[in-house]
Structure 1
């Protein structure tokens, strides 16, 4: 399985990479720090699952998600964001996401994230 983590915090990138890598052996994980890099890596890497923040410098998560959906309706996308506005959540849900978790990533939310990835991978 190939996972792309799009997150502007290097700390969160490393934490999520370790979490996913420990949970899913032989998982190929790539990271990007903003939407531009995330979109470019998506095109090159063709991940099975993308986790992304919404609030990032430059191209934000919603705009990256829109660009990906113009090319690919099937890739599984999980949002992990501190932006908890109802309108934002509804907007990304309309774009077809597999899940939405609010930051910060607690132990309980990490467990939920891993379950979401497992479900999305087998969907």
Structure 2
């Protein structure tokens, strides 16, 4: 069964870094890139977001708004926030909004693999 992954970040370099950091043990995945929160939600509504890697600071719609929207509709997607905003308040806020995990930027393969394993995707 294909796992649909959304990588939402306004930086194309950050999107590519996350994609390259995904463990090679993840098989049968389809990746969708989103440049902002609106595109991330559109991907969710299109059935392309089993897992979402979500930045917090993006144009049009930020990551907090995406998390709030997903929580309001009781979405069935796993969200891992990847952000440069590593303040404890930001981490607590995203957890309260339903994020499964938080990773500070820059993301590395080891950290991403650890978080994916912790939430049971591997």
Normalising by structure 2, report the TM-score. 0.85
Q: Which residue of 2 aligns with 1:113?
A: 112
Q: Structure 2: where are the runs of 5+ without partners? A: none
Residues 32-43 of structure 1 mapped to structure 2, 5 A cutoff: 32-43=34-45
Q: Which has the higher helix share?
A: 1
SS state of the match for residue 100, structure 1? Answer: strand
d(CA) in 2 for partners of 1:87 and 1:48? 26
Distance 1:91 1:5 in 2: 20
Q: How many residues align?
A: 120
What are the within-5 Å matches in structure 2 for residues 1-123 of structure 1? 1-20=3-22, 22-105=24-107, 107=108, 110-122=109-121
Pick closer, same or farther for the CA change 1:104–1:62 going to 2, 3 Å: same
RMSD: 2.0
